[in-house]
Amino acid sequence: MTKSFDILIVGIGGQGTILASNILGEACLREGRHVKGAETHGMAQRGGSVETHIRIDGEFGPLIVPGTADLLVSFDLLEALRYSHYLREGGKMVVNRHMVLPTSVFTQKIPAPKEEEIAAQLSRFAPCIIDADQIAVEAGSALAQNVVILGAASWSIPLKAESLLEAVKKLVPPKTVAVNTKAFELGRAAGTAP
């Protein structure tokens, strides 16, 4: 088997997983690396749980097998737990502390785990948990949370931070380049260097 670096990005429909995937793909192109990915479309975009697979240096299929991801990036605390079985032993995890409660909690009265309970369950992965919403607001827009998290995760991605930032600048709406640049930099500062 060839070795690719496998990243799973998860979150809730509408949080910008596809943009994050495009940023990684664009950064790979800039570095002349092969990249494969698979993403959730259609129904899952209606506020459902979404997952995007990205395999840097991937040569074959786009899917990551549970237990083999090198990095899990989650835009929501609960979704990080839902997909945590994808991570390999020793894999890295970068997670937004923010959590959106699923509507099923209210309509079907399904108990939801508390923030501390989820953090405790995730602790064996030594996750980097960051307040992306707060940092995004500081950068100028709450909508930039995905770029904040990407910045925080950039330490664990085998691509140059400059390539990622250039990709961010190319792919976000032109009006928001300054905000997203700041979001990426603040996110990177909030992340943990290995």
Q: Judged by CB, which is closer to another protein: 49, or 155?
A: 49
Q: Judged by CB, which is closer to another protein: 47, or 189?
A: 47
Contacts with another protein in 108-147 (CB under 8 A)?
110-113, 121
CB 151 within 8 A of CB 184: yes
Q: Which of 22, 146, 156, 163 binds another protein (CB under 8 A)?
A: 22
Helix (H, G, I), strand (E, B) or coil at 155: helix
Q: Which of 9, 12, 93, 183 binds another protein (CB under 8 A)?
A: 12
Phi-psi region of 112 (alpha: psi -120 to 50; beta: other; left: phi over 0): beta
Q: Judged by CB, which is closer to another protein: 89, or 174?
A: 89
Extract the tokens encoding 7: 């990243």
Helix axes 17-30, 161-171, angle to 10 degrees: 120
Over the window 94 to 113, marking each residue x when it contacts another protein by CB under 8 A and - when it does not, the resulting string is ------xxxxxxxx--xxxx
Q: Judged by CB, which is closer to another protein: 29, or 189?
A: 29
Q: Which of 15, 26, 129, 181 binds another protein (CB under 8 A)?
A: 26
Rg value, the chain, Cα: 16
Q: Judged by CB, which is closer to another protein: 82, or 177?
A: 82
| Residue 133: CB atoms within 10 Å | 15
Which residue has 């949080």 as its token pair?
A: 15
CA 144 to chain centre: 12
Contacts with another protein in 32-71 (CB under 8 A)?
33-49, 58-63, 65-68
What is the nearest approach in angstroms of another protein to the Cβ of residue 176? 16
Sort strands 49-56 and 35-39 into parallel, antiparallel or unpaired: antiparallel
Q: Is residue 193 a contact residue for another protein (CB under 8 A)? A: no
Distance set, CA 10 to CA 28, 109, 179 (Å): 20, 24, 23
**Residue ranges in contact with another protein by CB under 8 A:** 1-2, 12-13, 21-22, 25-26, 28-29, 33-49, 58-63, 65-68, 78-79, 81-86, 100-107, 110-113, 121
